[in-house]
Structure 1
Amino acid sequence: MSVILYARVSTADQTLAHQQTQAEAAGFKLDRVVADEGVSGISVPLRERPEGRRLFDILRRGDVLVVRWVDRLGRNYADVTDTIREFMRRGVVVKTVINGMTFDGATTDPVQMAVRDALIAFMAATAQAQSEATKEAQRAGIAHAKTIGGATKYRGRKPGFAREQFNHVRELLAQGAGASEIAKLTGVTRQTVYRIKDHPAEQMKALEAWGL
């Protein structure tokens, strides 16, 4: 039996190390850590993430999958519930660090099964609801910022990279370099590399908005 932590961070404000520290502090003896950096839990299903895909290959019957909370698996209700149920069908036990939840497909008692499935649905729905509430708050903040000063133009967050770095990242991506290698060569974070890779037009627009 292996105990595997899956960690995911989508912004520079989060850290993978913090999720591992929390899991170990909660008493989990981890055999392996699988992590995705700079990946959205809203728009990218677990199976489509670079390291998320590996979970479906390496998890075996009897293994324990540890996540900080179900929102690390995703923030889409259907994706999260399908993912947890798929792992349970394979004989994998899913445990959360927060609240100490355990989802075990070996449960046969009808009442326990009903409670388990209800908890999965509730937690997945909560993860999506929190995500949507956050997006709504962001939209409201942007709308408010646009109205301040009348004609004041909202420029969004200032990019953490220069145009030269942007161009260098694009060149290295075109050459097939990996995110870690590019980050070291250009001096930007891996999250920034992923943003430039996935949304180059948006990142260029941000540079132009700030005159960079």
Structure 2
Amino acid sequence: MTQTILYARVSTTDQNIEHQRTQAEAAGFVIDEVVADHGVSGVSTKLAERAEGKRLFDKLRAGDVLVVRWVDRLGRDYADVTDTIRLLMRRGVVIKTVINAMIFDGSTTDPMQEAVRDALIAFMAATAQAQAEATKEAQRAGIAANKGDVKKYRGRKPSYDHETLDTVMKMLSLGKGTSEIARANKLTRQAVLRVKADPAAAKKVLERWA
């Protein structure tokens, strides 16, 4: 009997597993089970090395569907993400994303479909790694700017958290419109435009309020 499993990974205090499940169900997925790793970095820890990641590999069988909010839940390292997706596809597992409803299915034999699928995998994995590196750079900059000044003015509290900002940046990278992104994330158009104009600054604001 095939099953649909949601894999969730939360690495910061403002990320929430229930939020990821709610998003998946709102997108039409019927989830049979949730497998989740808490407080685990997708940059330094490969999926197969995480406690629940190992269990996920053991559970998935041919015909099963693996649902993730976005490929960055699998990891933030380009090689790890691409290797993981291709390994699961070889097993006959179908991977689906909540954001933008991407589907990675290894059963296709059409050369053109394979080329498009592999290009998407590479693009999404590269995006996940780039965003991780941008986050680390923003953290370093925030620490340097605030060193020795605990009373530094932080400015207005942002209307988004880390998960929302990640979603906005992914939608922007896929060419989605400002109004569409604002509606999907319950933000103002102005907030989306500020993120679009300077993603690094948007991350720095979150770091100041962390």
Deviations 1:24-64 (A, max 9, x none): 00000011110001111110000010000011111000000
Extract unaligned runs of 5+ from structure 1. Answer: 155-212
SS in 1 for 2:115: helix
The letter for the 2-side match of 1:33 is V
- Which residue does 2:13 correspond to in 1? 12
- Which residue does 1:131 correspond to in 2? 132
- Which residue does 1:192 correspond to in 2? none
Q: Distance in 1 between matches of 2:142 and 2:21?
A: 32
In the alignment, is residue 63 of structure 1 matched against residue 64 of structure 2? Answer: yes
In the alignment, is residue 39 of structure 1 matched against residue 40 of structure 2? Answer: yes
Q: Distance in 2 between matches of 1:41 and 1:142?
A: 21
Q: Distance in 1 between matches of 2:137 and 2:41?
A: 16
- Which residue does 1:172 correspond to in 2? none
- Which residue does 1:202 correspond to in 2? none
Q: Distance in 2 between matches of 1:24 and 1:135?
A: 31
**What is the TM-score with the length of structure 1 in the denominator?**
0.69
1:143-154 equivalences under 5 Å are: 143-146=144-147
In the alignment, is residue 106 of structure 1 matched against residue 101 of structure 2? Answer: no
- Which residue does 2:91 correspond to in 1? 90
User: How many angstroms does 1:144 deviate by?
Assistant: 1.4
For this pair of structures, how many residues does the alignment match? 151
Deviations 1:147-167 (A, max 9, x none): 75xxx8x9xxxxxxxxxxxxx
**What is the TM-score with the length of structure 2 in the denominator?**
0.70
- Which residue does 1:2 correspond to in 2? 3
SS in 1 for 2:8: strand
The letter for the 2-side match of 1:48 is E
- Which residue does 2:198 correspond to in 1? none
Q: Distance in 2 between matches of 1:129 and 1:107?
A: 29
Q: Distance in 2 between matches of 1:137 and 1:113?
A: 36
User: How many angstroms does 1:129 deviate by?
Assistant: 0.1
The letter for the 1-side match of 2:129 is Q
1:163-202 equivalences under 5 Å are: none
Extract unaligned runs of 5+ from structure 2. Answer: 153-210
Larger radius of gyration: 1
User: How many angstroms does 1:146 deviate by?
Assistant: 2.4
- Which residue does 1:176 correspond to in 2? none
RMSD value over aligned CA atoms? Answer: 1.6
Q: Distance in 1 between matches of 2:138 and 2:38?
A: 24
Q: Distance in 2 between matches of 1:94 and 1:12?
A: 26
Q: Distance in 2 between matches of 1:94 and 1:143?
A: 40
Q: Distance in 2 between matches of 1:93 and 1:111?
A: 18
Detail structure 1 runs of 4+ shifted over 4 Å in the superposition.
none
Percent sequence identity is 76
- Which residue does 1:197 correspond to in 2? none
- Which residue does 2:208 correspond to in 1? none
Q: Distance in 2 between matches of 1:123 and 1:71?
A: 8
